Structure 1
Amino acid sequence: MKVLLVGEFSRLHNSLKEGLQELGHEVYILGHQDGFKNYPVDFPIEKIWDNGFLKKIKVTVNAIFGLDISSYLTYLQFKKNKSKFTGFDVVQLVNENSFYCQYYYEKKILDFLFKNNLKTYLLSSGYDYLNVKYCFENPNYKSGIQRYLAGRINPKSFGNVLKFRTSSFKKLHQFIYSNIQGIIASDIDYHIPLLINSKYSGLIPNAINTVKIGFQPLTISDTIIIFHGINEANYYKKGNDYFEKALHIIEKKYESTVEIITTRDIPYSTYINLYNKAHIVLDQTYANDQGYNALEAMAKGKVVFTGAEDEFIAYYNLNERVCINALPDVEYLVNELSYLIENPNEMIAIGKRARTFIEKEHDYIKIAEKYLQVWNSKTTSY
C-alpha cells in the first residue's frame, strides 16, 4: 500500500510511518516541520513570513486586504510539487487544518488531494471543529477549553482553538467531512466527542516506537527528581499554574528529599537531557488520556502526571495505575506527589507498569496493523 501522511506535530505520523514500513508499505509524510522539535518530513513545507519584520507586513496585509500571505505561499509550495501527491491508496490528514492555511487555500490543496488519491481519512488528534463544538457545548468535559471559559486564557492567545468556531472553518469542516471515508481518534479526549458521529471509524491509540525509546527502570537513592517542562504559550491550557503551586508546597515540605526542575521554552536538546534525569514528569491537568509527550515519558518508565480518567481506565480495562490522573486541584496534586515521595517502591512499580502498558497498547507495529484494518474496511474508486 502507498500512503501519504499529511501533517506532523507530535511524532504521531513518524511513528506510524515506521510501523507501516516494518509491515512492507511505502509511506511518505507531507507537512511543516513543527518548530523546535523538527520532526522528519519527506516533503517539507516551509513556513514563510512567519517572524520578524515580514510577519508584521503579513499581519498588516491580512488586516487591510484579508489575504494571508503565508497561506498563499504554502499553496504555491504545494502546487509546485503537486505531481508528487497523486496516486496514493490512502491519504491521512493529521487534523482539519493540516496546512495551517486560511479556508480558501486549505480547500484548494485538499480538493487536489481528494480528487487525485483513492481514500482519505481524517485524524482527530487535537482540536478540530467537532471536538471544539463538543467542549463548548459540554463545559464540564475535561479540556483546556475550561480555562478559556473561566477567563484564564485571552481570545488572542487562544486563536488556534477559537478558529474552529468561525464560519470559514465550519465550511472547511463540512468540505472535508463530505470527502473523507472516515475519522479516527487518537485517544479518549477525541474519542468521546465522536461516539455518535456517522463517519467515526473508532479509536486507534498513538503509535510509540518502543525500539527507539529505551526503558530505564527507576532507581531511587536519596533524592527524587520532579520535572516540570513549561511551554508558556500553553501555560493555562495545560494547567501549569496548578503544578507550580503544588511544587512550591512540595519543595517546602520535603526540602532536600526532592529536586525540582522547572523549564520554560528551552531548546529541545536541553529539555530532553533534563527530562531524562527525572523520576516524575508533570504533563498536564486538563486531559482524559495521555498525549504524545506523556506516552513517550511512560515508555521510558517515568511516573507521569497526565490524563487518566475513568473512561480511559475502563477502555483499557486497567486494574493498577500506569500513570497518575492529574487534576486542576493543588491539594490533590500535593497529596499524590507526597504519597509517591514517601513510597518510592510504588514509583518504581508504576514506571514498570507504564512501560508494559505502552508495549501492549501503543506498540508502533501493532498500531500500524490497526490503521490498515480501518483503511482496508471500505473500498473506493477514483
Structure 2
Amino acid sequence: MNILLIGEYSRLHNSLKEGLKTLGHTVTIAGFADDFKNYPVDIRFENSYNSGFPLFIKKVIYKLTGTDLTSIRTKRQFEKHKSQLVNYDVVQLINEHVFSTVPKTEMTLLDFIFKNNKNVFLLSCGTDYISVKYAFEKKFKYSIFTPYEDQKVSKANYWHVIKWRLKSYEKLHHFIFKNIKGVIASDLDYHLPLKGHPKYLGMIPNPINIEKLKFEAEETRNKIIIFHGINERNYYKKGNDFFDAALKIIEDKYASKIDIIEARSLPYSEYIESYNSTHILLDQVYAYDQGYNALEAMAKGKVVFTGAEKEWLEYYNLKEDTVAINALPNAEDIAEKLEWLILNPEKITEISNNARLFIEREHQHISIAQKYLTAWES
C-alpha cells in the first residue's frame, strides 16, 4: 500500500513508518518536525512563530486584527505541497490538529485531504476533544488538567489543552469524525475516553523500533544515576515539579549514593543519547500509561517513573513496580520509591530486564505496524 502519515509526535510515525516499510509498504510522513525535537519528515512544514520575538509579533497581530500568521504560512506551504498529498491508499492523522492552524483553516486543509484520499484514519495521540472532555469531567483521578486546576499554569500557557473546550475546536472535532473511517488510540490515556465510540477501532500500543535502541543496563555497584529530562514548555504538565521536590528529598538523604543528571529541552538526537549511562529515568506524572519517551527509555533498560496505573497493569496483566514505576503527583511518594530502589539495587537490575522484555513483547514496531494494517483494512 501507499501510505501517508500526517504529523509527528515523539517519533511515533517514524517508528510506524519503519515497521510498515519492513512489511513492504511505501510510506510518506508530512508535517512539522515537532518543534525543537526535530524529527525526520518527508514533506516538511515550518512553523517560525512558536517562540521568541516571532511568537510575540504573532500574538500582537492576532490580538489587533484577528489574523493568525501561523495559519497563513501553513496554508501557503500546504498549497505548495498539494500534489504530494493525494491518492494514497491510507492516510493517518496523528491527532485532531495536525496543521496547528485556526479551526477554519484546519478544516479547509483537511477537506482537501478527505476529498483526495478515500481512507483517512485518525490517531488519538496528544490532547484532543474527547480526551480533554473526559479529563475536564474528572473521569480520571488526575489528568493533564490537574496542573491547570491547581493554578500552576496560566490559561495562556495551557492553551494547547484549553482550546478543546471552545466551540470552534469542538466543530473541528465533529468535522474530522464525520469524514474519517475510524480512530485508533495510542495508549490507555486515550483508549479509556474513546471506549464505546462507534468509530473507535481500538488501542494499538506505540511502535518502538527496538533495533535502534540498544539494551544498556548499567551496573549498580557504585553510585545510582538518576536522569531527569525536562521540556521547559511542559514543566508542570509533565509533573516535573514533583520530580524536583522528590530529588531534593533524596539528595539530602543519599548524596553519597546517587548522581543526578538534568537535561532541558534537547533535540531528539541528543536526548536519546543523554541518559545512556543512567539507571533511573523520571518521565511524567499525570498519565495512566507510558508515553513515547518512557517506552524508548524502557527499551534501553532504564527504570522509568511514569504512568503505570492499575488500569495499565490489568490491561497487560502485570504486577506493580515490576516493569515501570507508577509516578503519582506526590513528591513524598516518588521519593519513597526512589529510596526503595537505592536501598535495593538488585530491583533496578530486575526491573531493567523486565522493561526491555515488555517493549519487545508489546511494542515491537513491525508487529505494531501489522496491527495498524489490520485495523485500516477492517
2:174 corresponds to which residue? Answer: 174
- Counterpart residue type for residue 121 of structure 2: Y
1:193 corresponds to which residue? Answer: 193
Matches within 5 A, 1:171-320: 171-266=171-266, 268=268, 270-319=270-319
Q: Are residues 1:358 and 2:362 paired?
A: no
1:64 corresponds to which residue? Answer: 64
Moved more, 14-23 or 102-111: 102-111
Deviation string, structure 1 residues 10-44 (Cα, Å, up to 9, x no partner) = 10000000000000001000001122221110000
2:17 corresponds to which residue? Answer: 17
Query: Taking structure 1 as reference, are residues 57 and 217 closer, same or farther at Cα in structure 2, changes over 3 Å only?
Result: closer
CA distance in 2, matches of 1:201, 1:223: 46
- Is contact 1:228-1:281 (8 Å) kept? yes
- Counterpart residue type for residue 239 of structure 2: G
CA distance in 2, matches of 1:248, 1:48: 37
Q: State the SS of the aligned residue for 2:206.
A: coil
CA distance in 2, matches of 1:147, 1:169: 22
Structure 1: gaps of 5 or more residues: 378-382
1:87 corresponds to which residue? Answer: 87
Q: State the SS of the aligned residue for 2:40.
A: coil
Q: Cα RMSD (Å) of the superposition? A: 1.4
* Displacement after TM superposition at 1:61 (Å): 2.1
* Displacement after TM superposition at 1:50 (Å): 4.1
CA distance in 2, matches of 1:48, 1:234: 19
2:46 corresponds to which residue? Answer: 46
Q: State the SS of the aligned residue for 2:48.
A: coil
Deviation string, structure 1 residues 307-328 (Cα, Å, up to 9, x no partner) = 1111101111124611101111
CA distance in 2, matches of 1:139, 1:233: 26
Q: State the SS of the aligned residue for 1:64.
A: helix
2:132 corresponds to which residue? Answer: 132
Moved more, 89-98 or 213-222: 213-222
CA distance in 2, matches of 1:143, 1:73: 33
CA distance in 2, matches of 1:52, 1:348: 43
CA distance in 2, matches of 1:267, 1:28: 22
- Counterpart residue type for residue 339 of structure 1: W
Query: Taking structure 1 as reference, are residues 303 and 53 closer, same or farther at Cα in structure 2, changes over 3 Å only?
Result: closer
- Is contact 1:237-1:286 (8 Å) kept? yes
1:99 corresponds to which residue? Answer: 99
CA distance in 1, matches of 2:343, 2:28: 48
- Is contact 1:142-1:288 (8 Å) kept? no
What is the TM-score when the length of structure 1 is the normalising length? Answer: 0.95
CA distance in 1, matches of 2:367, 2:40: 22
- Is contact 2:284-2:305 (8 Å) kept? yes
- Is contact 1:280-1:304 (8 Å) kept? yes
* Displacement after TM superposition at 1:52 (Å): 4.7
- Counterpart residue type for residue 131 of structure 1: S
Aligned length: 377
2:27 corresponds to which residue? Answer: 27
CA distance in 2, matches of 1:255, 1:229: 20
* Displacement after TM superposition at 1:147 (Å): 1.5
What is the TM-score when the length of structure 2 is the normalising length? Answer: 0.96
1:380 corresponds to which residue? Answer: none
Deviation string, structure 1 residues 314-359 (Cα, Å, up to 9, x no partner) = 1111246111011111221111111111111111010000000000
Q: State the SS of the aligned residue for 1:202.
A: strand
CA distance in 1, matches of 2:221, 2:62: 57
Structure 2: gaps of 5 or more residues: none
- Counterpart residue type for residue 29 of structure 2: I
- Is contact 1:218-1:351 (8 Å) kept? no
- Is contact 1:48-1:73 (8 Å) kept? no
Q: State the SS of the aligned residue for 1:81.
A: helix
* Displacement after TM superposition at 1:48 (Å): 3.5
Deviation string, structure 1 residues 58-115 (Cα, Å, up to 9, x no partner) = 2222112211121111011111221111111111000000010101211111000001
Q: State the SS of the aligned residue for 1:227.
A: strand
- Is contact 2:7-2:30 (8 Å) kept? yes
Q: State the SS of the aligned residue for 1:30.
A: strand
Q: State the SS of the aligned residue for 1:276.
A: coil
The percentage of counterpart residues that share the same residue type is: 54
1:339 corresponds to which residue? Answer: 340
Moved more, 231-240 or 107-116: 231-240
CA distance in 2, matches of 1:172, 1:266: 32
Q: State the SS of the aligned residue for 2:18.
A: helix
Query: Taking structure 1 as reference, are residues 51 and 126 closer, same or farther at Cα in structure 2, changes over 3 Å only?
Result: closer
1:373 corresponds to which residue? Answer: 374
Query: Taking structure 1 as reference, are residues 55 and 332 closer, same or farther at Cα in structure 2, changes over 3 Å only?
Result: closer
- Counterpart residue type for residue 297 of structure 1: A
Q: State the SS of the aligned residue for 2:197.
A: coil
1:327 corresponds to which residue? Answer: 328
Deviation string, structure 1 residues 148-183 (Cα, Å, up to 9, x no partner) = 112222111000111111111011001001000111
Moved more, 89-98 or 139-148: 139-148
- Is contact 1:5-1:94 (8 Å) kept? yes
